Amino acid sequence: MRGLTFDIAHMLAGSLVLVSFMQLYQDRLYALLNIFALHASVLAASVAWQAFIQDAPHLYLTAVIALGFKAIIIPVALHRIIVRLGIHREIETVVGIGPTMLLGMGLVALSMVVMLRVTAEADPLAREDLAFALSVILLGLLMMVTRRNAVSQVVGFMSLENGLVLAATGAKGMPLVVEISVAFSVLIAFIVIGIFLFRIRERFDTVDVQALDHFRGERR
């Protein structure tokens, strides 16, 4: 059974990287949100599987948070925000999709090289989980950098955070994982429930971050 449990964990973590790539080439906000919901569901499945094989029941709670909060509540809330704000559905990217994908591949290669080399002595599952997790984190960062739209930056941040949860659950027996995932959920809820989006909409009628950018920090 050792082989099978390993394969399933490996497959789920690998799928998370794949879904991260899928997020990179979405050009519509609705589609992006759907893919993000998928991302969070895959994470939930992966965390639940870790909970099962590590025999760590508290991780099921993290899985439930991932599924309930990040795969359902947040996408629905963001969906409503988009509808209410009537945001232009096209996502404006800073870099074209082709170069972004190439950069993404480079980042995945980088994280494999870095993590697999330094964790040579750790157990195989943990080290591959870490390598995948770093890939997801870097892809999330890439998405935050290449998108101008505030909603897609938030989605990028959330997928980055999914990578962190993957890393934390992969580290066997790590305490405080549940607390940390709750802390992150609070963080995300703060933005998403809308203080910022609401206020930004209230003041400027746009959530395009570039529209905020004409203020370059210096009063003239």
Partner 1 sequence: MTFDALVGVLLVPAIAAAMLAALPGYRLAARLNMLAALLTFVVALSLFFVKPKAGSYLLVDDLNKIFIVLTTFVGFTTSVFSASYISHEIEIGRLTPATVRFYHAMYQTLMFAMNLALVANNIGLMWVAIELATLTTVLMVGIYRTHEALEAAWKYFILGSVGIALALFGTILVYMAARPVVGEGLDAMIWTMLVQHAARFDPALLNVAFVFLLLGYGTKVGLAPLHAWLPDAHAEGPTPISAVLSGLLLNVALYALLRFKMLLALTPAAIAPGPLMVTMGLISCVFAAFMLYRRRDIKRMFAYSSIEHMGIIVFAFGMGGPLANFAGLLHMTMHSLTKSAIFFAVGHVAQVKGTQRIADIGGLTVTNPVLGWGLVLGVIAIAGLPPLGIFMSEFLVVSSTFARQPWLAIALALGILIALGGLFLRLNTIAFGEPRGPTAPAHASYVPMFAHLAIVFVVGIYMPPALVTGFQNVAKLLG
Give the binding range for partner 1 (CB under 8 A) out of 66-74, 80-88, 97-105, 182-190: 182-190
Is 185 within 8 Å of 62 (Cβ atoms)? no
Which tokens is 147 given? 């998108």
In the list 12, 17, 81, 134, the residue contacting partner 1 (rule: CB under 8 A) is 134
Closest CA to 75 of 134, 108, 129, 26: 26
Give, as ranges, the residues between 85 and 114 that touch partner 1 (CB under 8 A): 114
In the list 8, 77, 85, 144, the residue contacting partner 1 (rule: CB under 8 A) is 144
Size of the site for partner 1 (CB under 8 A): 50
Which residues does 97 contact at the CB level (< 8 Å), separation at least 6?
24, 25, 27
Give the binding range for partner 1 (CB under 8 A) out of 6-14, 25-33, 101-109, 165-173: 165-173
Give the binding range for partner 1 (CB under 8 A) out of 1-9, 10-18, 19-27, 194-202: 194-202
Is 143 within 8 Å of 152 (Cβ atoms)? yes
Q: Is 157 in the site for partner 1 (CB under 8 A)?
A: yes
Can you tell me which residue has the tokens 């997801």?
Answer: 136
Q: Is 167 in the site for partner 1 (CB under 8 A)?
A: yes
Q: Is 193 in the site for partner 1 (CB under 8 A)?
A: no
Give the binding range for partner 1 (CB under 8 A) out of 11-19, 60-68, 78-86, 206-214: 206-214
Which residues does 90 contact at the CB level (< 8 Å), separation at least 6?
27, 28
Closest CA to 185 of 166, 153, 158: 158
In the list 174, 193, 206, 208, the residue contacting partner 1 (rule: CB under 8 A) is 174
Q: Is 219 in the site for partner 1 (CB under 8 A)?
A: yes
Alpha carbons 111 and 84: distance in angstroms, whole number: 39
**Residue 2 burial (CB count, 10 A):** 8
Is 59 within 8 Å of 51 (Cβ atoms)? yes
Q: Residue numbers of the site for partner 1 (CB under 8 A)?
A: 114-115, 117-122, 126, 130, 133-134, 137, 141, 144, 150, 153, 157, 160-161, 164, 167-168, 171-176, 179-180, 183, 186-187, 190-191, 195-196, 199-200, 203-204, 209, 212-213, 215, 217-220
